[in-house]
Structure 1
Amino acid sequence: MGSILSRRIAGVEDIDIQANSAYRFPPKSGNYFASHFFMGGEKFDTPHPEGYLFGENMDLNFLGNRPVQFPYVTPAPHEPVKTLRSLVNIRKDSLRLVRYKDDSDTSGEEGVKPKVQYSVEFTFDADARVAITLYCQAFEEFSNGMAVYSPKDPTMVSETVHYKRGVSQQFSMPSFKIDFSEWKEEDLNFDLDRGVFPMVIQAVVDEGDDCLGHAHILLAAFERHVDGSFSVKPLKQKQIVDRVSYLLQEIYGIENKNNQETKPSDDENSDNSNECVVCLSDLRDTLILPCRHLCLCNSCADTLRYQANNCPICRLPFR
Structure 2
Amino acid sequence: MGNLISGGSRPVYNRDRTSPPYPNPNPQYQGNYPSPYNHQACARYPNGEFASPVPYVEHQEAVTIRNFINLKKETLRFETDEQNPGKFLLSFTFDASVPVSITVMFFAKEGRECNLNATKEDLFPSTTVSFPKGLGQRFKQACGTGIDFSALSEADLVEANETDVYHVAVKAEVASEYDHPESETPNRQITHGVLEKDRKGEYKARVVKQILWVNGARYALQEIYGIGSTVDDNGEDSNERGKECVICLSEPQDTTVLPCRHMCMCSGCAKLLRFQTNLCPICRQPVDGLLEITVTNDRKV
| Identity fraction in percent | 34
Q: Select the residue among 250, 253, 256 that pairs with 2:229.
A: 256
1:178 aligned residue: 147
2:74 aligned residue: 93
Superposition pairs of residues 67-82 of structure 1, within 5 angstroms: none
Asked if structure 1 preserves the Cα contact closer than 8 Å seen for 2:247 and 2:269, the reply is yes
Q: Select the residue among 122, 127, 133 that pairs with 1:154.
A: 122
Answering whether residue 285 of structure 2 is matched by residue 312 of structure 1, we say no
2:11 aligned residue: none
Asked if structure 2 preserves the Cα contact closer than 8 Å seen for 1:286 and 1:294, the reply is yes
CA distance in 1, matches of 2:233, 2:136: 19
Cα deviation for residue 39 of structure 1 reads 4.2
Residue-pair matches, total:
222
User: What secondary structure does 2:282 align onto?
Assistant: coil
Asked if structure 2 preserves the Cα contact closer than 8 Å seen for 1:128 and 1:165, the reply is yes
Distance verdict in 2 for CA 1:244–1:229, change over 3 Å: same
Asked if structure 1 preserves the Cα contact closer than 8 Å seen for 2:93 and 2:137, the reply is yes
> So what's the TM-score if we normalise by structure 2?
0.66
Asked if structure 2 preserves the Cα contact closer than 8 Å seen for 1:122 and 1:172, the reply is yes
Cα deviation for residue 207 of structure 1 reads 3.3
Distance verdict in 2 for CA 1:82–1:314, change over 3 Å: closer
> So what's the TM-score if we normalise by structure 1?
0.63
Distance verdict in 2 for CA 1:38–1:156, change over 3 Å: farther
Superposition pairs of residues 175-214 of structure 1, within 5 angstroms: 175=143, 176-188=145-157, 191-208=160-177, 210-211=179-180, 212=183, 213=185, 214=187
Answering whether residue 107 of structure 2 is matched by residue 137 of structure 1, we say yes
Q: Which has the larger radius of gyration?
A: 2
Structure 1: gaps (5+ residues)? 1-36, 41-80, 104-114, 262-270
Distance verdict in 2 for CA 1:190–1:242, change over 3 Å: farther
User: What secondary structure does 1:300 align onto?
Assistant: helix
1:223 aligned residue: 196
RMSD: 2.7
Distance verdict in 2 for CA 1:159–1:140, change over 3 Å: same
CA distance in 2, matches of 1:185, 1:258: 44
1:17 aligned residue: none
Cα deviation for residue 181 of structure 1 reads 0.6
Letter in 1 for 2:266: C
Distance verdict in 2 for CA 1:99–1:188, change over 3 Å: farther
